[in-house]
Each structure stands twice: as structure tokens, then as C-alpha cells.
Amino acid sequence: MTLLTGSSILIVGATGGLGREIAQILSAEGALLTLHGRTPERLADLGIAAARVTGDLRDPETAAQLVAAALAAHGRIDGIVNTAGLVAFGPVVQVSDETIDTLMAVNATAPMRLLRAAYPALVESSSAHRDPFFLTLSGVVSESPTANMAAYSASKAALAAFAKAAGREMRRDGIRFLDARPGHTETGLATRPIQGVAPRLPAGYRPTDVARRIVDAIVADERDLPSTAFAS
């Protein structure tokens, strides 16, 4: 069982609909948080006592900056929760190069860079028997790629493959990977696509419920949360 009280946890994308809910739960359960967002104003609006850091995840230097901020604030990193992500809609033949590049940079490449930057701190946490973890959210589209969301599905499938393979590599270092794949959740992400317009979607999960399930999985040392894990 992973203890949250006193654990130093970096949340990437903390101002998003799901990141915000996870941050609230982790804060209430005593974690020492470092919260990442795109603007200081949105981070301040969270009203959570935490270290705060901004940065564009497309920038190769941002990962190291996030890790440095967490280490400066709390002296260690025991967990990383990556909830940042972008979405796009529309037929693949209409998706621009810029959209493809941005989806891959934020949804797939950024978490890879983040692991590389945080690896020494996570190994140190493991050596101190603090049960470090790295959590990704590839979502249901990584299990079931969706028409008119092909580029988005591909970026999330890449993230899921990364989590699975890196998790095998890091197991020997005592670093636990956890990939969560909830179905459509009412975070508001679909209303902010970087290209296209969202189709009519069925009512999604409540962010509070999804966040609670994810935090419970962190505590219970789970390593995989397929879409079926979120079914009521």
C-alpha cells in the first residue's frame, strides 16, 4: 500500500478538469504537491496549498524544469501524475501537420521526457522505500481507436505503449507505472479541441468519480486501470 501523507507528488496538467480533482484529493490526504499548469493565474485559482510551476509541454526543456521545481519545493519526488492532454476531431485527411505534431508532443513525447528527467529522483525514492509511481492517462481511445479522432487515438496509443514498456523496464528499479484508461469524462476537454468540432457525445463519467478511482488505485499499488475499471 502506498502512503500519500507526506509523499511528494508532481501533478502535470493540474488545472485541467481531472487534474484539478486529483489534486484536491491528494491535498486532502496529506500529499506534498507540486502543481503544473500553463498560467500562474489558473494555478492560483485552484486554491490548493502547493508549489506551482508553469511550462509549455511542447518545449523540450519543460520536463527538467518541472522536476527541478518539485525537488526545490520538497527535496524529493515520490510520484508523478500526468493528466495533461490535448484533443482534436475530424477526418484524418483534414488533420493538419501542426495538429498532428502538437498532439504527439503533448500527449506522448512530453511524458517520455518527464520520465527521463525524473528518473534519478524516482530511483532515490525507491531506495528510501517510498514506493514511487508514474501515472499516465491514455484513456479509452488507446484501447479502442476512434474514427474522426485518428490522430488523437494514435497519440494516446503511443502513450499506452510507452507506459507498458517503460513499466517493465522500471519494475527492477522499484518504480511502479500505472496507466488509466477511463471512458469519456466530463472534464470539458472536448469543448477545447485544437482542431475540429466534437461530435455529439453521450454523458460521460463525473471527474470526481474518475479521480477517486485513480487515487484509490495509487494507494492500492495497482498497475493498470483499463476502461472496465471505471464502469459502475
Residues taking part in catalysis: 152
Evaluated on CA atoms 119, 16, 187, 104, the torsion sign reads negative
Distance CA 4, CA 2 (A): 6
Structure letter (DSSP) for residue 30: T
- Measured CA to CA, the distance from residue 213 to residue 173 in angstroms comes to 26
Cβ neighbours for 109, distance < 8 A, ≥ 6 positions apart:
none
The H-or-E segment that residue 167 falls in is: helix 150-171
Q: Which residues pair with 133 in a beta bridge?
A: 79, 176
Which residues on adjacent β-strands are paired with residue 178?
135
- In which residue are the cell numbers 502513450 written? 159
Distance of CA 223 to the CA centre of its chain: 14
Is the sign of the CA dihedral 125, 181, 162, 91 positive or negative? negative
Nearest Cα residue to 190 out of 39, 73, 89: 89
